[in-house]
Structure 1
Amino acid sequence: MLSNIQAKLLIVDDLPENLLALEALIKREDRTVYKAQSADEALSLLLQHEFAMAILDVQMPGMNGFELAELMRGTEKTKNIPIVFVSAAGRELNYAFKGYESGAVDFLHKPLDIHAVKSKVNVFVELFRQSKAMKQQVEQLEQSRREQEALLNQLQSTQLELQQAVRMRDDFMSIVAHEVRTPLNGLILETQLRKMHLARDNAAAFTLDKMHAMVDRDERQIKSLIRLIEDMLDVSRIRTGKLSIRTSMFDLSTLVRGLLENFAQQIDAAEASVCLEAEQPVIGNWDEFRIEQVISNLLTNALRYGAKSLISVKVFSENGEARVEVRDSGIGISEENQQRIFQQFERVSAKHAVAGLGLGLFISEQIVTAHGGTITVESRIGEGALFRVCLPL
């Protein structure tokens, strides 16, 4: 409400009795009256406060009322304050005309008409309050506009995120369907083939050597399915903050050396070769299963994208960190792709798409981060890639 806006009034007169009389005339509970006995004192108050109006005596020693008004009109903070002049001089001096030239809105002669003074002050106070209220409304509208604009931007951002989430879901379902179908098709074909042999009483199809081969094929397909399921479960654990890290002391060099032995068959199938440099023990307190998972992902990617070339693996410690570097000489990764390969369901490119859900590097980064470490990549197109895992010792 307008009545809640406190108005400040300035009265300037070199005679204290005049100040007291005028203050008594215009003072009310919703107004604060400031008094000044000189132009200098008035200027000091004008710089400190925002006034609804100023009542200036014309004839003062030193700087008179007209000169003070001209100074007020030339100052940004005070140029819009309504000025009313008061003078005891006769009308024949034409002070009123000079007052209006100085920027006054009214001119009063002494002795003052009480009702006229009160009426004029009430008008200017009301105008001040309306101006303040309108300014507050404009500020509130502007604040509301900014909030609505921010909300709109947030909604647009959320919409884009939702659209991206839907695309990711669709891509994920498509990838999962394709990746799960491959081992399942193998198992189904094996089952149908065995049913056919059994229906024909073909015992020769179930010799010991052939049974070993069948079991090996089944095991590979089942392991492939288990790997896909574990990757999806790991993503779920990461999203809910339930990725478990169970640390113990072990030698990273020994882990990598054993892992490469387990990868021997995959290395041969990829027609690649691996060079290991792990001369010194690198012992730390980490989750052995999870770190093996990270290195396995890096080795798998190196075999996939390494273009049947030499893969270099290095394990060492430096600057209080354990480091594992896996370098290949394959297709390389562009700078743009380097920014996104650690995201969910991302792979190098459609042109070089291979098996997998595109979760390996995402999961690996989350595991390494959970250990307080980092995983980075250095690469150029056609020049291979170097992945570096750094873990605090």
Structure 2
Amino acid sequence: MTNTVKFLLVDDLEENLLALEALLAREGLELHRARSGEEALELMLGNEYALALLDVQMPGMDGFELAEIMRANDRSRHIPIIFLTAGSGDAARKFRGYEAGAVDFIQKPIEADILRSKSNVFLDLFVQRQQITSQRDELAMLTAALQAADQQKNRFLAVLAHELRNPLAVLLAGLNFLERPKEGLDNESVRKSMRQHLHHMTRLVDDLLDINRIEHGKISLRKETVLLGDILPPALDIAGPAIEAAGHDLQVELPDEPMTLEVDPARFIQIVGNLVSNAARYTPAGGQITVAVSKLADGANITVSDNGVGIPVEQQSVIFEMFGQSDNGRGLVGGGLGIGLALVKQLVELHGGEIRLVRSAPGEGSTFEVHLPLAR
């Protein structure tokens, strides 16, 4: 929505234009002048006017002819026209003016109060129309956002149902096996499978609760001064089962110089564990995952790279949003609710850090970088 309203003043005499400018000048009103109908039409091509004040008697194209051309053009037909005339006000003349599209006539010599009063009506109408247009556009954007949120909610509920149903089915089947043991059944492997799926369900619920706490400002960090080399291994252990199950090769690169961070150890483990687990989940079996740590002047960079399925370009802008899970089109939809990266982003930012997607391409993998400040 523009803050400046524009009037178009058309008269072949410079002194008349100067007089109109002096009478109409006010803050927020931009006055454009034209000395002929042709010049006025040219100005209309690049400007939107709230009102056109046209002198009737001009050489060449007179005011009536200009008005008729304006009414025939889609861009200018909506512009209100007030004719300024020094001639007689007979009915036939006025009829032609109204037929050409005039909303009013003002006789010369012009009375200042009448000109200001009538022009203010159209200025206010134009501003109101702009406001209505802006509100309409905002309403359309809000409607689109609500529709997108509704689709996102439905998708989340569908994924949630899937994510909970699968481990519940395994737990139920395992319980049945244990209650009615069969010959040759490996009870320990059944229990191991049940523990893994129970851990998966617990993690889903914990992530949901953490997101809710952060959004309501109810999560607080318990920061400690720790060596990065001491808390990185427990973070990698979280993803250990997924890496081992898929036969991934995990490479860890640490600088020789120790780095001290002031972080909440549990949340740091959650951040790195989520990123490495994501890499394992989105990488086909036998993939390569690299966790590289580097020290900068203002902090530590932790880079997690994989050679997995990658993220389509059109989805890269939403991966840090709630439920912005990537569907990579290769049958790997992540085995999660799509809240992992959103949670990681919020936890990193609570620490005064930053996370970004460095690169990603379908079939080539992804690289995420977390920047955290060093302990002072």
Match among 281, 285, 299 for residue 321 of structure 1: 299
Deviations 1:288-337 (A, max 9, x none): 11111111111111112223222111122112211111111222233322
- Partner of 2:23, secondary structure, is coil
- Relative distance call for 1:256 and 1:47 in structure 2 (3 A) is same
1:362 aligns to what? 342
Aligned partner letter, 1:143 = V
Shift of 1:192: 2.6
1:331 lines up with 2:309 in the alignment: yes
Shift of 1:143: 0.8
Equivalent-residue separation in structure 2 for 1:48 and 1:174 (angstroms): 65
- Relative distance call for 1:47 and 1:137 in structure 2 (3 A) is closer
1:145 aligns to what? 129
2:78 aligns to what? none
Aligned partner letter, 1:225 = M
* Alpha carbons 1:252, 1:315 under 8 Å: kept: no
* Alpha carbons 1:328, 1:384 under 8 Å: kept: yes
- Partner of 2:180, secondary structure, is helix
1:252 lines up with 2:228 in the alignment: yes
Equivalent-residue separation in structure 2 for 1:160 and 1:282 (angstroms): 46
TM-score (structure 1 length as normaliser): 0.64
2:266 aligns to what? 289
Match among 212, 228, 235 for residue 211 of structure 2: 235
1:35 aligns to what? none
Equivalent-residue separation in structure 2 for 1:380 and 1:187 (angstroms): 37
1:50 aligns to what? 23
Identity value in percent: 28
TM-score (structure 2 length as normaliser): 0.67
Match among 154, 163, 179 for residue 179 of structure 1: 163
What are the within-5 Å matches in structure 2 for residues 1-393 of structure 1? 49-50=22-23, 127-197=111-181, 210=187, 212-278=188-254, 279-307=256-284, 308-351=286-329, 352-377=332-357, 378-393=359-374
Equivalent-residue separation in structure 2 for 1:48 and 1:303 (angstroms): 71
Equivalent-residue separation in structure 2 for 1:104 and 1:236 (angstroms): 72
- Partner of 2:364, secondary structure, is coil
Equivalent-residue separation in structure 1 for 2:20 and 2:165 (angstroms): 80
Equivalent-residue separation in structure 1 for 2:233 and 2:196 (angstroms): 22
Equivalent-residue separation in structure 2 for 1:176 and 1:263 (angstroms): 21
Deviations 1:212-234 (A, max 9, x none): 44443332222111111111112
- Partner of 1:266, secondary structure, is helix
Aligned partner letter, 2:345 = E
Count of residue correspondences: 282
Q: What's the RMSD between the two structures over aligned residues?
A: 3.2
- Partner of 1:50, secondary structure, is helix
Shift of 1:144: 0.8
Deviations 1:4-27 (A, max 9, x none): xxxxxxxxxxxxxxxxxxxxxxxx
Shift of 1:239: 2.6
Aligned partner letter, 2:308 = G
* Alpha carbons 2:326, 2:334 under 8 Å: kept: no
- Relative distance call for 1:228 and 1:132 in structure 2 (3 A) is same
- Relative distance call for 1:46 and 1:263 in structure 2 (3 A) is closer
* Alpha carbons 2:353, 2:370 under 8 Å: kept: yes
* Alpha carbons 1:280, 1:316 under 8 Å: kept: no
Shift of 1:104: 7.5
Equivalent-residue separation in structure 1 for 2:277 and 2:134 (angstroms): 45
